[in-house]
Structure 1
Amino acid sequence: MLLQANETFWLWQLFGRLHPLFVHFPIGLLCVVLLLEILDWRGKSGRLRDGIRILVWVGAGSSVLAVIFGWLLAGEGEYSGDSLEIHRWAGIATMVLSIITAFSLRTNLFGIYRSLLFLTVFGVSFAGHYGAMLTHGDDYISSVLPSSQKYLAATTEVDFVANNSGPMSEQQIQDLNVQVRTILAHNCYSCHGEGKSKGDLRLDSRDGIMKGGENGFVVVKGHPEQSELIRRVSLPKSDKEAMPTKGKRLTEQEIKVLQYWIEKGAVWPEGKEKSIYRVAALEPRMPQVPVPTGDLVKPVDLFVNAYFVKNKIGWKPVVDDRIYIRRVYLDIIGLPPPPEKVEAFVADTRPDKRETLAKELLNRNDDYAQHWMSFWNDALRNDYSGTGYITGGRFDITKWLYRSLQVNKPYNWFVKELISPNKESEGFIKGIKWRGTINSSQRTEMQAAQNVSQVLLGLNLKCASCHDSFISDWKLEDSYAFANIFADTLLEINRCDKPTGKIAGTRILFPELGEISVNESTEKRLRQLADFLVQPKDGRLYRTVTNRIWAQLMGRGIVEPVDMMDNMPWSEDLLDWLASDFAANGYDIKKLIYTIVTSKTYQLPSTSVKEAGDIMANEYKFTGMVRRRLTAEQFTDAISFAFNPMYADTAIVTDLLPKDIKKKLPFPRAGFVKNDPFLTSLGRPNRETVSTSRTSQANLLQALELTNGNKFTETLKTGSKQWREKYPTSELLVTELYRKSLGRTPLPKEIAVAKKMLGPVPSEEGIQDLMWAIALIPEFQLIY
């Protein structure tokens, strides 16, 4: 199920990574011109010459636009370093060369023209390469070459081979075993695993490896040079004894890892095989709250303070009132604060005004539900259109979900009604009945097992739905036993979509929680499962949701990824306390949100990461909430609130909502609009599968939609007419635009620039340009 980075032949990967060069099609036309010139080097085709002239001028013109838009993109602060500067000036040089090339062709200086054309195409290639490095890393192309160490070490997380002196720590032993098992799983299990043991050899267990096969031992501890396993994987592919016999060969680095493992005594944890992976405790735990110190009195802050002290991190001053009110408005109800609310909040001198504001927002039940619908729609794969609805093979849970959020249904009841559903909530576990031929892991019962385990328990059963997992200890039999709880008849186990003739029975993933009655009806089994999962002793259920809410508000979970709750949290005490406090307070999600947003921790200045992957890194250090972009729905609603409704016709709002709820909408909220190209470009998923996180990184599709998209352009165009009628003078219009969109008055220099854009009497075009400029600045697009 997992695709390794080096499974594809390196040359095809290299060709694939040249895509950024050709995706800039107009500039790429210059490359086409060079090809045509080579084909017609000595020819005198007038028709071809006319085509070349057009292509050269189009290519030169597009290079000018590329430089302009590239400069604007760089100004957003998302990129920096030497690669940016090289890319920037290489692009400018290419633009200049392309213009000179076009003029030399126009004046029929063919010798100069062809020389410049060669230089221009080289410039396009050079600038394109550094552009790819900016978005994909410095080794974007070189990493797939056979000589690349990254290519050789694609499956290796820790370089033990380079540091092989001295005894190994317990953590190193565990990491090494994970790597060895991963290598064996991806290359050897198909012939030497549970499903097939060719030559009477199994490599999927400690006993199997040490026992060897029909030809004797394959591993000699401490002596890789005497081990048959190393000899076989090191043979040339043409040798009949070479292993693996099919598929790709092991890389040099993978062989070195196996050699190192054997040299160190083929270390393998004693006891159960699953001991090489961390398994989080199931039961709840209420850690002792640290003693208050200074102005830190709230439990969240005291646990964070203990973490800060341990990691030598200092507390920073909390954000000012303007940042806080915008942050908490967007996080709780998904809308920017009205300007009059901002001014009143700033002027308020009460010491508890932030706590009071949080309570007020959480009590706005409809606004709260309208915002958090998107979060739960993603997680529960609930949407208003798409695959399954046309054929009746999918059921929505929109009305049930909205009502549940509106009344703040306790989470334990929320979960019970999802697993043991009524008619309105059954869509989650019923999944999607796909048309046509599907594999066994896509049947609705298996979808239910996968989705319940992922969303509610923070564990991945997708790999284990096809074969024994390579990334955890969950087995194929575990997945089928859990899926059988949702099935009307027991399912036959299919391994990699091939029937095995075996039946797994019926079993909950964590037997400590209870035993499911095999002979009961499906309805009764689901009721049992629901009762077992929501027990107070199921600490995993409540840690998982607590971690999700923290990640939504803080930009990163205490455990990351949020669907892998067996990973180590950066503060185990904080996570355990939050989950236990959540249970003690009646499984109240609003109280959990209140606890977080009124902490000093939430009020710290936002931080950023250099690379998107840094947020998942093992060495990640928490210093405050991670700065993040508005979601597709937040951005759309902010535009509707500040400038003009993006979706003016209430008829386009999903008809799955009751009429009384539709009437409460201040404007058609994006969370209730059926997905469209605009929302998709801003990151809204299609929800055919569970989606528990969205990327906060800007991308090319988003940039194109916000600069050239018809939906966004028409919204601002319509809004500019209304604003011109309402505010006839430039200064008043600029002031109100800034107050409505950013919650502040414009600075003098901003007024001066805006006036130049608008002119003495505001024009619709000028207003539209000003709205567009405000909407694209980080202050509008980001939650600071």
Structure 2
Amino acid sequence: MQEAIQNFWLWQFLGRLHPLIVHFPVGLLCVALLLEILDWRSHNKNFRAGTAALVWIGTVSSVVAVAFGLLLANVEDYSGEAVEFHQWAGIATMSLSLLTLWLLRSGRMGAFHSMLILTVVGVSVAGHYGAMLTHGDDYLTSVLPHTNEARETDFDATQFSFASNDGQPLSETQVAELNLEVRSILAHNCYSCHGATKSKGELRLDKREFIDKGGENGIVLVARQPEKSEMIRRIKLPTGHDDAMPTKGKRLTEKEVAVLEFWIKQGAPWPSGEEKSIFRVAPLEPRNPDLPPAVAGLSNPVDRFVNVYFKQNKVAWQESVSDRVYIRRVFLDVIGLLPPPQKVVAFMADSRPDKRETLVRELLNRNEDYAQHWLTFWNDALRNDYSGTGYITGGRSDITKWLYNSLKSNKPYNWFVRELVSPTKESAGFVKGIKWRGTINSSQRVEMQAAQNVAQVFLGLNLKCASCHDSFVSDWKLADAYAFANIFSDTLLEINRCDQPTGKMAGRAILFKDLGEISVDAPTEERLRELADFLVQPKDGRLYRTLVNRIWAQLMGRGIVEPVDVMDNLPWSQDLLDWLAYDFVQNGYDIKKLMFTILTSKTYQMPSVGVKEPDILTSPNYVFNGMVRRRLTAEQFADAVSVAFNPVYPDSAVEFKRLPETIAQEIPFPRAALVKNDPFLTALGRPNRETVSTGRSSQANLLQALELTNGEKFNSSIEQGAERWKAKYPQSDALIKALYRRALGRNPVSKELAVAEKMLGKTPSVEGIEDLAWAIVLHPEFQLIF
């Protein structure tokens, strides 16, 4: 039935009208906005009737455009993130246009103007993504001068240099390199129409056997004769020709065509044996690189590897930060709290050479504080929360008791993972995921959630694309994702591609088959025990590299591999990553020992480095030169305000009954990690935890600014605290110094003292204390980890 619908000519015809129909809302709504601007500038309503007509027609045509677009997406087998974004942007634009029309009819002109602007922005964004689908990702940027230069540079960096090898046969290595480059060209330009998920004209170009077979119109490649190869003829045809390829996206560059021609002239060679992936795949097995020799002042293993890296990249070591900066940094990183003023003074006066190591040991031994702080990170990663989707219906269970006790006892990481993958009753919430209400996409059923989340959290691997179709960003296939999901399923799942049943069933298999073979017919509990045992083996170097990389990213602001969920990316230091992971296993899977090694290194103690744009951190050209300056997390900020001025959650002392009774006795005030999410924490970056979150943005945004200036939670805390501080400190001078010491770990400098005294007067008022406290907690020195 589905196939009949997709092949019915009328649906195909109507679907292909989508690009024509979609231009109506684009043009008409833009003209409507222009007329409203003219009306506003001339202070009359001469164009109002025309505006109304255009909004009506534009709204109706946007509805039709969405309907035809959905038809086109189904009958033409479109898939991928760009299609999905274009689709939802179009639906959002349609909704905005309907709301705009309603506001116009109801006479709410102020809201109408704002909504009309949003609608035009929405239709422009949707149109841009539509153009990208038709003309390629670089539809706009491809005409810019720097683009051509970049293409030239990219090509020059390839292995095509051996094309002028005086007619000598290619070596096996050269054949492999040439083939890798050819497949990369085909993958980026041809697979969307001629790959495993879509084979127009019955032609596939993703494997040599399919290339040799050709398509419905015959063979496309004649070995050693590019001039007779249909593939070359079509990619060289001018844009607009009926036979020109590719029909969508950018055309191949002259040098890309030359690579393909050279490849065919060489007989279209193909490496023997297993095909080499066009995507980097990180080694699975552990590795213990030789530890570089120690030099003066650099005995910590981390520093010895970083020293080699610095020499290679011409980076100079910086002087270690001051004691005041270090104690604040390490307090926040280990237990998430500001250091008490008296502790700062004592630490600065301490003359022992090992005082920093002693401090780190002391903080790591504060088990309750450590657990309450790191609960935030693991709640995000394991999408554990205290309220939200799934809890009302019983379709979700929390793991808070188990997680808190695991952190407090510093449970070895291999057992930590084992108990999450093969869970007890208390730890089962992670693999059970969320049972969503209503109809959901096949890629979000609970078994697939388990597969995606285990792969992402523990292996740094993205299975989300491969849960819907063969991945475009890795070698993982739809069948791989379903085979892994079936380990968590009581019955075998039918493979769905882009939510359409295929009639095919997947088996049961672990993602990395070198780790072991799952007993296909065993009960679910036994399969999960097998999976847990396979994953935590010492030979699973990927599991432990992923954990080490996550801890490094939390302490240093950027992972050795970035993004932290893409562990197949190149690390900036392979040796450092491998050594830390190997040492972690040798030291009994002890996360605190790992942290001690990092926290006591000179590398951690260097001054923090600011970055202007967050994209720098994920650039392949990134050069490590120290800790990245970070903004306090939502929970750290709330706890810092609570320590320095007044508890933010005075009435929230463990609102839920799921936690151990002892927790309430272990905390002097309710830690933000232990309270339910609210608008204040959301504005400061706490995720909803319906999906795995392994990192938070450290960039300030408008929502944070609005919450900190007008938010009820924050401002009520400041107001209540001001009354307490006024009662305790009747004189401004003592109050100002005490507040600075508790908030910033230092006394105010003369200029700060003068401004604060002017703000408060000799006898502080509640309003003046509020203003001073507000100014201090919004100061970069308070909000950032330097």
The 1:216/1:312 distance shift into structure 2, 3 A limit, reads: same
1:40 equivalenced with 2:44 (yes/no): yes
Report Cα offsets for 1:353-401 as digits up to 9, x if no partner. Answer: 0000000000000000000001000110111111111111111101100
**What is the match of residue 375 of structure 1?**
377
Q: How far off is 1:165 after superposition?
A: 8.2
Q: How far off is 1:235 after superposition?
A: 6.8
**What is the match of residue 60 of structure 1?**
none
Secondary structure, aligned partner of 2:501 = strand
**What is the match of residue 344 of structure 2?**
342
Give the letter for the 2:257 counterpart.
Answer: Q
Q: What pairs with 1:293-332 in structure 2 (closer than 5 Å)? A: 293-332=295-334
**What is the match of residue 200 of structure 1?**
202
Q: How far off is 1:724 after superposition?
A: 1.2
Q: Could you tell me how far apart the structure 2 residues matched to 1:758 and 1:603 are?
A: 37
Secondary structure, aligned partner of 2:517 = coil
Q: Could you tell me how far apart the structure 2 residues matched to 1:537 and 1:737 are?
A: 52
Bigger mean CA deviation after superposition, 363-372 or 514-523: 514-523
Q: How far off is 1:636 after superposition?
A: 1.0
Query: TM-score scaled by structure 1?
Result: 0.78
Q: How far off is 1:761 after superposition?
A: 1.7
**What is the match of residue 262 of structure 1?**
260
Give the letter for the 1:298 counterpart.
Answer: N
Q: What pairs with 1:25-64 in structure 2 (closer than 5 Å)? A: 35-38=39-42, 40=44
Q: How far off is 1:263 after superposition?
A: 4.1
**What is the match of residue 670 of structure 2?**
668
Q: Could you tell me how far apart the structure 2 residues matched to 1:505 and 1:526 are?
A: 15
Q: Could you tell me how far apart the structure 2 residues matched to 1:714 and 1:291 are?
A: 56
Q: How far off is 1:758 after superposition?
A: 1.4
Give the letter for the 1:36 counterpart.
Answer: W
Q: How far off is 1:706 after superposition?
A: 1.5
Q: Could you tell me how far apart the structure 1 residues matched to 2:225 and 2:343 are?
A: 73
Q: How far off is 1:261 after superposition?
A: 4.1
Report Cα offsets for 1:640-695 as digits up to 9, x if no partner. Answer: 11111111103563332123212222211111111111111111111111111111
Q: Could you tell me how far apart the structure 1 residues matched to 2:584 and 2:244 are?
A: 57
Report Cα offsets for 1:434-474 as digits up to 9, x if no partner. Answer: 11111211111111111111101111111111111111111
Give the letter for the 1:728 counterpart.
Answer: P
**What is the match of residue 626 of structure 2?**
624
Q: Could you tell me how far apart the structure 2 residues matched to 1:228 and 1:39 are?
A: 64
Q: Could you tell me how far apart the structure 1 residues matched to 2:596 and 2:401 are?
A: 25
Q: Could you tell me how far apart the structure 1 residues matched to 2:676 and 2:361 are?
A: 31
**What is the match of residue 250 of structure 1?**
249
Decide which of 416, 422, 425 is 2:418's aligned counterpart.
416
The 1:215/1:154 distance shift into structure 2, 3 A limit, reads: farther
1:712 equivalenced with 2:714 (yes/no): yes
**What is the match of residue 187 of structure 1?**
192
Give the letter for the 1:160 counterpart.
Answer: F
**What is the match of residue 469 of structure 1?**
471
**What is the match of residue 558 of structure 1?**
560
**What is the match of residue 693 of structure 2?**
691
Q: How far off is 1:500 after superposition?
A: 1.9
Decide which of 326, 337, 357 is 2:359's aligned counterpart.
357
Give the letter for the 1:607 counterpart.
Answer: V
Decide which of 653, 656, 663 is 2:655's aligned counterpart.
653
Secondary structure, aligned partner of 1:251 = coil
Q: How far off is 1:154 after superposition?
A: 14
Q: How far off is 1:548 after superposition?
A: 0.5
Report Cα offsets for 1:594-639 as digits up to 9, x if no partner. Answer: 1110111111111122211000111111111111111111111111
Are the equivalent residues in 1 in contact too, given 2:759–2:768 (CA < 8 A)?
A: yes
Structure 2: gaps (5+ residues): 1-17, 48-116, 122-136, 164-172
The 1:165/1:459 distance shift into structure 2, 3 A limit, reads: closer
Q: How far off is 1:156 after superposition?
A: 8.0
Q: How far off is 1:526 after superposition?
A: 0.4
Query: TM-score scaled by structure 2?
Result: 0.78
Report Cα offsets for 1:214-254 as digits up to 9, x if no partner. Answer: 32343568988865446556778976656667xxx2224x5
Q: How many residues align?
A: 663
Give the letter for the 1:180 counterpart.
Answer: I
The 1:157/1:751 distance shift into structure 2, 3 A limit, reads: farther
Q: How far off is 1:739 after superposition?
A: 0.2
Q: Could you tell me how far apart the structure 1 residues matched to 2:325 and 2:22 are?
A: 48
The 1:163/1:380 distance shift into structure 2, 3 A limit, reads: closer
The 1:665/1:703 distance shift into structure 2, 3 A limit, reads: same
1:160 equivalenced with 2:159 (yes/no): no
Are the equivalent residues in 2 in contact too, given 1:555–1:628 (CA < 8 A)?
A: yes
The 1:389/1:582 distance shift into structure 2, 3 A limit, reads: same
The 1:232/1:523 distance shift into structure 2, 3 A limit, reads: same
Secondary structure, aligned partner of 1:500 = strand
Report Cα offsets for 1:467-508 as digits up to 9, x if no partner. Answer: 111111111111111111111011111122222222221111
Report Cα offsets for 1:711-746 as digits up to 9, x if no partner. Answer: 222211111111111111111111111000000011
**What is the match of residue 70 of structure 1?**
none
**What is the match of residue 288 of structure 2?**
286
1:587 equivalenced with 2:592 (yes/no): no
Secondary structure, aligned partner of 2:605 = coil
Q: Could you tell me how far apart the structure 1 residues matched to 2:204 and 2:650 are?
A: 64
Q: How far off is 1:343 after superposition?
A: 0.3
Give the letter for the 2:700 counterpart.
Answer: A
Bigger mean CA deviation after superposition, 510-519 or 197-206: 197-206
**What is the match of residue 127 of structure 2?**
none
Decide which of 139, 144, 149 is 2:144's aligned counterpart.
149
**What is the match of residue 569 of structure 1?**
571
Secondary structure, aligned partner of 2:495 = strand
Q: Could you tell me how far apart the structure 2 residues matched to 1:380 and 1:711 are?
A: 27
Q: Could you tell me how far apart the structure 2 residues matched to 1:310 and 1:395 are?
A: 50
Q: How far off is 1:281 after superposition?
A: 1.4
Are the equivalent residues in 2 in contact too, given 1:187–1:244 (CA < 8 A)?
A: no
Q: How far off is 1:764 after superposition?
A: 1.5
Give the letter for the 1:677 counterpart.
Answer: P
Secondary structure, aligned partner of 2:503 = strand
Percent of aligned pairs with the same amino acid? 63
Q: Could you tell me how far apart the structure 1 residues matched to 2:764 and 2:186 are?
A: 68
Are the equivalent residues in 2 in contact too, given 1:230–1:255 (CA < 8 A)?
A: no
Q: Could you tell me how far apart the structure 2 residues matched to 1:226 and 1:700 are?
A: 60
Are the equivalent residues in 2 in contact too, given 1:185–1:470 (CA < 8 A)?
A: no
Are the equivalent residues in 2 in contact too, given 1:233–1:255 (CA < 8 A)?
A: no
Q: Could you tell me how far apart the structure 2 residues matched to 1:33 and 1:495 are?
A: 47
Q: Could you tell me how far apart the structure 2 residues matched to 1:782 and 1:11 are?
A: 50
Q: Could you tell me how far apart the structure 1 residues matched to 2:521 and 2:719 are?
A: 64
The 1:330/1:195 distance shift into structure 2, 3 A limit, reads: closer
Secondary structure, aligned partner of 2:386 = coil
The 1:167/1:709 distance shift into structure 2, 3 A limit, reads: farther
Q: Could you tell me how far apart the structure 2 residues matched to 1:612 and 1:577 are?
A: 28
1:510 equivalenced with 2:507 (yes/no): no
Secondary structure, aligned partner of 1:382 = coil
Q: What pairs with 1:417-456 in structure 2 (closer than 5 Å)? A: 417-456=419-458
Give the letter for the 1:250 counterpart.
Answer: G
Q: Could you tell me how far apart the structure 2 residues matched to 1:233 and 1:655 are?
A: 66
Secondary structure, aligned partner of 2:378 = helix
Q: Could you tell me how far apart the structure 2 residues matched to 1:397 and 1:152 are?
A: 50
Report Cα offsets for 1:128-167 as digits up to 9, x if no partner. Answer: 9xxxxxxxxxxxxx98747743998999897428999844
Are the equivalent residues in 1 in contact too, given 2:184–2:278 (CA < 8 A)?
A: no
The 1:454/1:222 distance shift into structure 2, 3 A limit, reads: farther
Q: Could you tell me how far apart the structure 2 residues matched to 1:229 and 1:642 are?
A: 69
Give the letter for the 2:413 counterpart.
Answer: Y
Bigger mean CA deviation after superposition, 461-470 or 329-338: 461-470
Q: How far off is 1:259 after superposition?
A: 2.7
Give the letter for the 1:259 counterpart.
Answer: V
**What is the match of residue 119 of structure 1?**
none
Bigger mean CA deviation after superposition, 548-557 or 260-269: 260-269
Give the letter for the 2:39 counterpart.
Answer: L
Are the equivalent residues in 1 in contact too, given 2:639–2:671 (CA < 8 A)?
A: yes
